[in-house]
Amino acid sequence: MDVKELIKELSLLDGPSGYEAEVLKVIEKKIEPFVDKVWYNKVGTLVAEKKGFGKGKLGIFAHADEVGHVITKIEEGLFARLEMIGGVDPKIMFAQRVRIHTKNGVAKGVVGVLPPHLQKEEHRNKVPNFDKIFVDLSCSELGKYVSVGDICVVDMKPVELNGKLCGKAMDDRAGCASLILAAQLLQTLRNYQDVYFVFSGQEEVAGPGAVSIAYELKLDRAIVVDVTHGDVKVPQFVQIKVGEGPAICVGPSIDREFQSKLSEIAQKHNVKTQIEPAPGRSGTDTDEIQLTGSGIRTALVSIPLMYMHTPVEVVDPKDVEETARLLALATTVE
Amino acid sequence: MIDLIKKLTEAYGPSGREEEVHNLILQELEDHIDGYKFDNVGNLLVWKTGSSGKKVLFDAHADEIGLVVTNIDEKGFLRVESVGGVPPHSYVGHRVRFSNVVGVIYVEGETEEERKKNFTNLNLDNMFVDIGAKSREEAMKLTPIGSFGVYDSYFYRNGDLLISKSMDDRIGCAIIVEIFKRIGKPHNTIIGTFTVQEEVGLVGASVAAYTLVPDVCIAVDVTDSSDYPKSFKRHSMMLGKGPAIKIKDRASISNRNIVEKLVETAEQQKIPYQMEVLTFGGTNAAVLQKTRSGIPSATVSIATRYVHSPSETVSLNDVENTVELLINYAGKGV
Amino acid sequence: MYLKELTELDGVSGNEQQVRDFINQRIKDKVDDLRVDVLGNLIAYKKGTKGRRKIVLAAHMDEVGFMVTNIEEDGTLAFSPVGGVETQVMPGKVVRINGKTIGVIGYKAIHIQDKESLLKPLSVEQLRIYIGAKSKEEASKQVKIGDYVAFTTAFDQENGRVTGKAFDDRAGCSVLMDLIEKNDRYEDDLYFAFVVQEEVGLRGSAVVVEQIHPDIVIVIEGTTAGDDPELPEYQWATHLGDGPAVTFMHRGYVVNKKIYEAILNVAVKYSIPHQAKRRTAGGTDAARFARTGAGTAAGVVSVPSRYIHSPVSMIDLNDYNNAVLLLQKILEEGEAFAR
């Protein structure tokens, strides 16, 4: 499987939180050949199951949803208002093309912006917020069908930047890709533990996607694969580098022994990794998965990514491959 | 049904003190349910058994916002803190009802300037309650520290508009009571939960579905109606346009399949409805959906003007249409 | 009473090993069963003479502190708080990293600060831990990113008061240990839950309910006291010397009315000094217990403690002893309690 093509294909799919079904369908097709069976739970989480030759139940999680928008109101003259799904900085919204999923198909829209000629001081100094943002639907034949509750995403086709990949929804389709690749690797490596590849929804809005299945499967261990801020200086924190392998998280949400074991495996097989401290919450599904039922031993592996929650998220496909290798290796031991 | 709404909204039931509301509901439902119980945290659960083997849960919270006494001075004046999201400006010069005494709330200020400042920056820290006590000892007897109070308001009908305190969420309670009264022998088992402590953090609903494990949950709650002067510009909800089928708020995204089923039901039955995207707030659906291994959940809302004020205003037509929609949904649902 | 031993141990949220091991050693022969769960909670069990109800007494082992989040080129350590630590209590303190390396949180001398920085509140970005290392390389031999950092305050007792770190909630842990040491049997089955990660979001307690399915939980806390000259009396949450505090409501939870009143009734019945906690800010594991699984009726009894979440907090031993007494009487009530 070509890793770049896989990531690009997943990035192109539209699936904001709660509306991931189409994304999951594609993932299902890709992973099905590598596992024993695939199924969905009651709240729409996709599970790909592969029995091991030993014992223990390991869940490997990535979320299939992305941040996005929903139409809140239709204004006169074919304009619409937006609310974000997940955390989106309104500053990146101006002059974007958007795609709106209506009952009658995908309508196009443009997020309008006041030209500099018409701006006054008060416009220039204001921080944009969603109360000021509108979508112009007059450029779309389907614009008249747009209605409250329709799902909207920024229109962005992935581009390649010196070997790195840039596009929307890399958070966490890059993670999804690493799970599919790991499943493929298990055709040659043999997994000791029963492995459940979990593609969940609604991570960006703290929904039931991941915790529901963690509870249902009564897992012994869970590895969550998500993304983290790469190549940017966060005050007080060590800088995570894009292209230097996945970051293994340490902190209260993580089981210390399981994390050390994972780091050992990485070292033994020359998988490049970095260490990421999370003194409070990790901000991923890990935080809640750890607390399901009587508790689950967790680890968090993050793919370094630039410009998180914007349409130009950047990842290095090499990091995705290294993540896949680490995941596959983790299933082979006790 | 108007009598029922009057009784329920005028009842005393701040978070953690919902007994009066629960007792009223039980009296109303006496001949209309197959059973009831109170769970560990005090939620009232009622049910009517169907033949399909499937279970639909309708939830409304029994509690309302309020105040709690935290200190009493030597002259018998009370200091209070809020229970749930109480806007202090709604209280100035108004009355607060404790279980056995009514008090007046006012604002401190030793100079005109200070008074003015306190009025513009209203804060419970510079407000007090006068229950007419002459000493700390007398006040301690009437309202010991830890006594809970609510708006002293009354029900009023103005044509199609119904006005009272605690429409949030006694209107939901009334709708569920009415469903049980009107439905004969249900196809699916219907569970009603009248949950506690929603306003302080969705406490009751976090555990309400745990014991009976329904197949779907629908929270019936109020939402912002944006049809008064200078109301929230991104909201489209209005009084009189029918039940609001929620797409999302800040705490949850309604299950897509339930939303589609609700819309289909409304259209088939020619019941007016509106779609809802709320840019803040949350309902019990946020935690109901995370019960055990996940339960598909959604919210159906009643558009309400002036939420969390002593004069929350709803449309009787919307209430009737919500009852009809939910009865029809309960018939097929799941 | 184990306040000295307990508060001198390091147990920042997520790294409670030292505290757990200490408690485990001291109580293992005095209980019927003892286990450490997946998250690291230590749960001791004492069978009841009737055993028709399960009561959990819970205290958290963790304390607020820091984590090393970067090692600088000059060998100093950048750090971030674990749990709620105010920046103002950080500078000029001795800390211990990973249970062994000693460091200090230094700040530049008053002489070389300009006027502006003298008047500005500190931010954690301006602070580093100095361990005496000359370079990143040298520092990396002793510490690594992700290591936990705790304050190192020695315990002191004088004048009926004790001072030290982490009374929130080693005071609760010590109360539980005292109750276990009394070695009495009560009517109800008892579970003593020493939980982890309270300070980072009531996390350890989240997995206790599904293991036990308790009927009642009582959380024992070291809670905020506000009785200092800077705060008007009506804003104190609790104060020292008038007995343990009983909570009617805090963030995210109104205490179950039956439990709240039952605790008060026991205090009145045995004339045990007590006070209502008079502010609703702050939360405890009670909110988590109420919200988890099938839900649990949870109450809170606290030892008032001044200056919590700092390296030096203070409690009154009378309050501590009365908290032990109150809980003992609650247990002696047996099935009559909160019927």
Please give the ipTM for the structure prediction: 0.94
Confidence tier at A191 by pLDDT (50, 70, 90): very high
A43 with A178, same domain? Answer: yes
**Percentage of residues in chain A having pLDDT higher than 70:** 100
Question: What range defines the domain where residue A180 resides?
Answer: 3-66+168-330
Residue of B30, B39, B58, B47 lying closest to B197 (CA atoms) = B39
CB atoms within 10 A of CB C184: 12
Separation of alpha carbons C24 and C6, rounded Å: 12
Instruction: Give the residues across from B107 on adjacent strands.
Output: B127
Confidence tier at B333 by pLDDT (50, 70, 90): low
pLDDT at C200: 97
| A238, A252, A280 ranked by CB distance to C70: nearest | A238
pLDDT at A110: 97
Confidence tier at C241 by pLDDT (50, 70, 90): very high
Residue of A158, A164, A175 lying closest to A8 (CA atoms) = A158
| Cβ(B288)–Cβ(B295) below 8 Å | yes
Is residue A232, in this structure, part of any structural domain at all? yes
What CATH code would you report for C65-151? 2.40.30.40
| Cβ(A273)–Cβ(A324) below 8 Å | no
| Cβ(C200)–Cβ(C65) below 8 Å | no
Read off the pLDDT of each residue in B271-290 and give the average, rounded to a whole number. Answer: 98
Region of A23 please: left (phi>0), alpha (psi -120 to 50) or beta: alpha
| Cβ(B229)–Cβ(B289) below 8 Å | no
Interval C289-323: pLDDT, tens: 999 999 999 999 999 999 999 999 999 999 999 99
Classify residue C339 by burial, with Cβ atoms within 10 Å: 0-12, 13-18, 19+: exposed
Separation of alpha carbons A183 and A197, rounded Å: 8
pLDDT at A286: 98
Classify residue A215 by burial, with Cβ atoms within 10 Å: 0-12, 13-18, 19+: buried
A41 with A185, same domain? Answer: yes
| Cβ(C171)–Cβ(C222) below 8 Å | yes
Is residue A229, in this structure, part of any structural domain at all? yes
Tallying the residues shown for chain A, one arrives at 334
- For residue A201, what is the domain's CATH number? 3.40.630.10
A101 with A58, same domain? Answer: no
Separation of alpha carbons C46 and B240, rounded Å: 60
CB atoms within 10 A of CB A97: 14
What lies within 8 Å, CB to CB, of C74 at 6+ separation is C134, C135, C136
The one catalytic residue among A66, A203, A313, A321: A203
Question: Coil, helix or strand for C165?
Answer: coil
Of A127, A154, A181, the domain-final residue: A154
Partners of B40 on chain C (C-beta within 8 Å) are: 215, 294-297
Q: Give the residue on B whose Cα is nearest the Cα of A86.
A: B250
Of A154, A180, A198, the domain-final residue: A154
Cα separations (Å) of C170 from C2, C23, C60, C253? 9, 11, 7, 23
Q: How far apart are the first and last CA of chain B?
A: 27
Q: What is the domain count for chain A?
A: 2
Domains of chain C: which residue ranges?
3-63+165-336, 65-151
pLDDT at A128: 84
Is residue A15, in this structure, part of any structural domain at all? yes
Residue of C60, C40, C41, C65 lying closest to C148 (CA atoms) = C65
What lies within 8 Å, CB to CB, of B304 at 6+ separation is B167, B168, B171, B222, B223, B224, B225, B312, B313, B314
Separation of alpha carbons B8 and A191, rounded Å: 59
C182 at B interface, C-beta within 8 A: no
A237 with A286, same domain? Answer: yes
| Cβ(B177)–Cβ(B31) below 8 Å | no
| Cβ(B108)–Cβ(B126) below 8 Å | yes
Give the minimum alpha-carbon distance from B290 to chain A in angstroms, rounded to a whole number: 5
Read off the pLDDT of each residue in B166-183 and give the average, rounded to a whole number. Answer: 98
Is residue A161, in this structure, part of any structural domain at all? no
Cα separations (Å) of C210 from A10, C20, C176, C207? 38, 21, 21, 6
Chains within contact range of chain A (3+ C-beta pairs < 8 Å): B, C
Contact B206 C256 (CB under 8 A): no
B315: pLDDT strictly greater than 90: yes
A208 with A174, same domain? Answer: yes
A38 with A184, same domain? Answer: yes
C155: pLDDT strictly greater than 80: yes
C249 at B interface, C-beta within 8 A: yes
DSSP secondary structure letter of residue B211: T
Confidence tier at A192 by pLDDT (50, 70, 90): very high
A312: pLDDT strictly greater than 70: yes
What lies within 8 Å, CB to CB, of B159 at 6+ separation is none
Contact A250 C206 (CB under 8 A): no
A138 with A86, same domain? Answer: yes
Instruction: Please give the full DSSP string across C234-295, using - where no structure is assigned.
Output: GG-S--TTS--EE-SEETTEEPPHHHHHHHHHHHHHTT---EE-----S--HHHHHHHSTT-
Residue of B333, B18, B9 lying closest to B172 (CA atoms) = B9
Separation of alpha carbons B104 and A244, rounded Å: 65
By DSSP bridging, strand A134-136 and strand A57-63 are unpaired
- The interface residues of chain C toward chain B in range 217-246, judged by CB-CB distance below 8 A, are 233-235
Joined tokens for residue B84:
């749930």
| A73, A207, A212 ranked by CB distance to B253: nearest | A207
Separation of alpha carbons C30 and C278, rounded Å: 36
Q: Please report, as a single letter, which amino acid is at residue B136.
A: R
pTM summary value: 0.95
Instruction: Please give the full DSSP string across A88-142, using - where no structure is assigned.
Output: --GGGTTT-EEEEEETTEEEEEEE----GGG--HHHHHSPP-TTT-EEE-TT-GG
Give the minimum alpha-carbon distance from C267 to chain B in angstroms, rounded to a whole number: 16
Largest CA distance in chain B: 70
A37 with A183, same domain? Answer: yes
A128 with A201, same domain? Answer: no
pLDDT at B87: 87
CB atoms within 10 A of CB A39: 10
DSSP secondary structure letter of residue B239: T
Joined tokens for residue A3:
């890793």
Q: How far apart are the first and last CA of chain A?
A: 28
Contact A83 B248 (CB under 8 A): yes
A116 with A242, same domain? Answer: no
Contact C210 A293 (CB under 8 A): yes
Joined tokens for residue C174:
């010590």
Residue of B71, B101, B64 lying closest to B85 (CA atoms) = B64
Chains within contact range of chain B (3+ C-beta pairs < 8 Å): A, C
Is residue A163, in this structure, part of any structural domain at all? no
Contact A216 B254 (CB under 8 A): no
Read off the pLDDT of each residue in B84-97 and give the average, rounded to a whole number. Answer: 92
Residue of C102, C98, C103 lying closest to C148 (CA atoms) = C98
Rg (CA), chain C: 21
| Cβ(C330)–Cβ(C218) below 8 Å | yes
Joined tokens for residue B129:
């309650």
Contact A295 C39 (CB under 8 A): yes
Partners of C81 on chain A (C-beta within 8 Å) are: 279
B85: pLDDT strictly greater than 90: no
Contact B294 A45 (CB under 8 A): yes
Residue of C223, C218, C222 lying closest to C297 (CA atoms) = C218
A107 with A143, same domain? Answer: yes
How many CA within 13 A on the CB side of residue A185?
21
Instruction: Please give the full DSSP string across C203-231, using - where no structure is assigned.
Output: -GGGGTHHHH--SEEEEEEEEEE--STTS
Joined tokens for residue B316:
């009787």
Residues C3-63+165-336: name the CATH superfamily: Zn peptidases (3.40.630.10)
Confidence tier at A17 by pLDDT (50, 70, 90): very high
Residue of B200, B240, B162, B179 lying closest to B62 (CA atoms) = B200
Q: Which of B20, B21, B22, B40 to mutate to test the interface with C (most CBs of C within 10 A)?
A: B40
CB atoms within 10 A of CB C25: 9
Q: Give the residue on A whose Cα is nearest the Cα of B232.
A: A131
C337 at A interface, C-beta within 8 A: no
By DSSP bridging, strand C148-151 and strand C93-97 are antiparallel
**Sheet strand arrangement including B161-164:** B156-158, B161-164, B312-315
Partners of C252 on chain B (C-beta within 8 Å) are: 200-201, 203
Is residue A162, in this structure, part of any structural domain at all? no
Separation of alpha carbons C178 and B34, rounded Å: 48
CB neighbour burial string for C196-233, b if at least 16 within 10 angstroms, e if fewer: bbbbbbbbbbbbbbbbbebbbbbbbbbbbbbeeeeeee
A263 with A176, same domain? Answer: yes
Is residue A214, in this structure, part of any structural domain at all? yes
Interval A238-290: pLDDT, tens: 999 999 999 999 999 999 999 999 999 999 999 999 999 999 999 999 999 99
B184 at C interface, C-beta within 8 A: no
Q: Which of A255, A276, A288, A294 to mutate to test the interface with C (most CBs of C within 10 A)?
A: A294
Mean pLDDT of chain A: 96
Separation of alpha carbons A284 and A302, rounded Å: 10
pLDDT at B38: 97
Contact C80 A295 (CB under 8 A): no
Partners of A63 on chain B (C-beta within 8 Å) are: none
Confidence tier at A168 by pLDDT (50, 70, 90): very high
Question: Coil, helix or strand for B253?
Answer: strand
Contact B203 C253 (CB under 8 A): yes
Question: Coil, helix or strand for B10?
Answer: helix
Interval C109-153: pLDDT, tens: 889 888 888 888 899 999 999 999 999 999 999 999 999 999 999
Instruction: Give the residues across from A80 on adjacent strands.
Output: A74, A135
Separation of alpha carbons A177 and A320, rounded Å: 7
